[in-house]
Amino acid sequence: MVAWLVDVNTIKILPFKLPTIGPNDVRIRIKDVSICGSDFHYLKTMKCADFKVKEPMVIGHECAGIVDKVGSKVKHLVPGDRVAFEPGIISCAHCQ
């Protein structure tokens, strides 16, 4: 279940189907997630800076959890590792 922003001041908790993990991917079992300033802007105005929400969007991206599964090319993490991440800071430019 994830928090979908669907309109101004409207969040719905709905299912989310995880994609199949690829060779460079890591699946994290999320234990905690926070809502940050950008999420608050999206909630109140459906935009933040130049980005405008045009379709339902999952919010909450500052997370911590446990590595659940790693792709065949991932060498720096193993299942069971505890991780914290903020995916908006560094992007590999390959992830969906």
Model confidence pLDDT, tens digit, residues 23-79: 999 999 999 988 888 889 999 999 999 989 999 998 887 889 999 999 999 999 999
Model confidence pLDDT, tens digit, residues 4-37: 999 999 999 999 898 899 999 999 999 998 888 8
The radius of gyration computed from the CA coordinates of the chain, to the nearest angstrom, equals 15
Half-sphere exposure of 34 (CA within 13 A, CB side): 9
Angle in degrees, CA 32, 43, 61, rounded to 5: 30
Would you list the DSSP string of 31-96?
EEEE--HHHHHHHHHSEETTEE--S-EE---EEEEEEEEE-TT--S--TT-EEEE-TTT---S---
Task: List the domains of the chain with CATH numbers.
Answer: 2-85 (3.90.180.10)
Dihedrals phi, psi of 93, to nearest 5 degrees: 70, 15
Instruction: Report which of 88, 22, 83, 94 is spatially closest to residue 58, judged by C-alpha positions.
Output: 88
